[in-house]
Homo-oligomer: A and B are copies of this chain.
Amino acid sequence: MAIVIQKFGGSSLADSSCIIRCAERAAAARRDGHRVVVVVSAMGETTDDLIALAAQVTDQPSQRELDMLLTTGEQVSIALMTMALHRGGMAAVSMTGAQIGIITDEFHTRARIRSIDTEALQAELDDGRIIVVAGFQGMSSEGQLTTLGRGGSDTTALAIAAALGVGGEAGAGMCEIYTDVDGVYTADPRIVPNARKLDRISAEEMLELASLGAGVLHSRAVVFGQKYNVPIHVRHSGKPDRGTMIIRETPDMEDVTVVGCALTPDLGRISVRGIPNSPGMQGNLFKRIAGTDAVVDDIIQTESGETANISFMVDHRDLAEVKVAVEKALHDAGAGEMAIEIGLAKVSAVGVGMRTHAGVAATMFAALGDAGVHIANITTSEIKISCIVPKEQGEKALRAVHDAFGLDRAHQQRPRRPDAALRRPVT
């Protein structure tokens, strides 16, 4: 009687037959004796359609009203999913985020979960019902409907798992994330044809891959799972195969230096030169940038006399907004100039084994050198090495790194049976 959380994304819920198929997976878990909570996204392109509808009315919709609009998408899904479960003879009940007591802060369109009242959930589970919860949404303490922003439904699933004590010290239960890919790969198979599906990956590695844009799961959800030690199973909603387990790091994982690699395309580099290096300068600069929605990464500062040079990477689509923010910061500082380069990409290798294995960086640089790839910049973290390369060399660079670490070969990576470390797996 472990608790199983099953989350189905929009691509798994494209139409009524997809919903019926997903309902069958939930029913199967229930028939196996598990206590089942289903978390659903809006069907297919519903959220985009609703945003387009709002855009027809106004180009500056209120964020509160956007949330009022968008929360309907998941509400449609929970009703239909519950009907599909009833059709299959299962006891089931739908619940909105508000009904289930998902209390968030008051920041519309990007709210964060503050608490989940598990009383109603537990009562329904005790009665043997499958609970179908609307993902992506909650309610502020003032009773306003809120949405959780990108990756919101994954976050809902993990937050419910954590609140119900899935994983944790007791170690029971599982959060299954159903999507339209087979699992987590050693690299994007569209770019690296011999990329291999991973049976398992540590939460830290997944987090690095997710933040590189390579993950099938949003980094917020991975953080939740990591924090509360919830095992996550990423798998395909239309196939019976096992996917990839995201689990707490185990000692044998360090046998492998690199578990996966990723390409972040379409990056620009903003370089600020000659800005006076006074206390608070960096704080002001990045406060200005934080006022945009852009993600900046790979920040490098060098000093030159009284002034500093700072460079960082930004996605192409955020460049214009960040440029304006930096101009304001330079205006505040009264000095300094900005240069913008475009057409860059980032290739990264990730693995918890890097901590204990030397020579990982050397292997990567040698592989890129042999492939004739120009390295514009290098940044490293404890379990990640990233190189900035010309965009047009990005895919070649990714394949070179994938080959260099032998990621297509399973034997090297997993010396033990993959299932051995899984706790109470559910299929």
Interface, chain A (partner B; CB < 8 A): 15-17, 19-20, 50, 53-54, 56-58, 60-62, 64-66, 68-69, 71-72, 75-76, 78-80, 82-84, 86-87, 93-94, 96, 98-99, 143, 145
Contacts and interface: CB of A to CB of B under 8 A. Distances in A.
Contact of A57 (B19, B57, B68, B93): B19
B84 A57 contact: yes
A95 to B, nearest CB: 9
A57 B143 contact: no
Contacts of A83: 54, 57-58, 61-62, 65, 69
A58 B87 contact: yes
A427 to B, nearest CB: 25
Contact of A50 (B17, B54, B76): B76
Contacts of A54: 79-80, 83
User: Which A-B residue pairs are the 7 nearest by beta carbons?
Assistant: A69-B79, A16-B56, A72-B72, A68-B79, A58-B87, A65-B79, A57-B83
Given A65-B86, A68-B94, A94-B68, A57 B76 contact: no
Given A60-B86, A69-B75, A69-B83, 10 more contacts: A54-B80, A58-B86, A65-B79, A65-B80, A65-B82, A65-B83, A65-B86, A68-B78, A69-B76, A96-B145
A421 to B, nearest CB: 39
A240 B58 CA distance: 24
B76 A75 contact: no
A68 B75 contact: yes
A176 B108 CA distance: 33
Contacts of A61: 83, 86
Given A75-B68, A75-B72, A82-B62, A57 B94 contact: no
A84 B72 contact: no
Contact of A71 (B60, B75, B80): B75
A66 B56 CA distance: 28
Given A71-B75, A72-B72, A143-B99, A53 B80 contact: yes
B65 A72 contact: no
Most chain B Cβ neighbours within 10 Å, of A64, A66, A72, A75: A72
